Amino acid sequence: MGRIAPTADEIEEMARAAMARLPQAFRAHLEGVVLKVEEFADDDVLDELGIDDPFDLTGLYTGVAVGEKSMAAGGQLPDMIHLFRRALLEEWIETGVTLEALVSHVLVHEVGHHFGLSDEAMHALEDEA
């Protein structure tokens, strides 16, 4: 029997559930952060990041990190966490990790960027855990 790949709405539901499991101290600073599930990152984003294959980018944070926000800054786009459905599905198939665990991992990684953590700092924290 064939399986149908989860929709963007289903992946968003998994991500929102993962967000709800974060400690309250983190969730309090995520109010107003937009969660968006798209098929792939657009070409401009991929070019800016130097990524050739859209399957190589599963998530992205765009915005200003919490510690860098200024009360005087206005007219900015909302902070956003982007999850890229097709890249997530490809990694899910390749790794055998549950899709829920993968979505949660990518979401937490992007939340880390919202708090101003670098990729290196997040990898170090993951290695310690």
pTM, two decimal places: 0.85
Q: Which structural domain range is residue 15 located in?
A: 8-128
Q: Which two tokens stand for residue 83?
A: 């999850």
Angstrom distance (rounded) from CA 91 to CA 72: 41
Distance CA 80, CA 61 (A): 6
Asked whether residue 95 is domain-assigned, the answer is yes
- CATH number at 109 reads 3.30.2010.20
pLDDT at 129: 44
Q: Which residues is 37 bridged to in the sheet?
A: 83
Rounded to an integer, what is the distance from CA 18 to the centroid of its chain? Answer: 11
Tens-binned pLDDT, residue by residue, of the chain (129 aa): 556 889 999 999 999 999 998 888 888 888 889 999 999 999 999 999 999 999 999 999 998 877 776 554 566 788 999 999 999 999 999 998 999 999 999 998 998 888 888 778 776 656 554
**How far apart (Å, rounded) are the C-alpha atoms in residues 112 and 18?**
14
The answer to whether position 75 is within a domain reads yes
User: Within a domain: residue 1?
Assistant: no
Domain count, the chain: 1
In this prediction, residue 80 carries a pLDDT of 95
Question: Quick one: which of 129, 89, 127 has its CA closest to 106?
Answer: 89
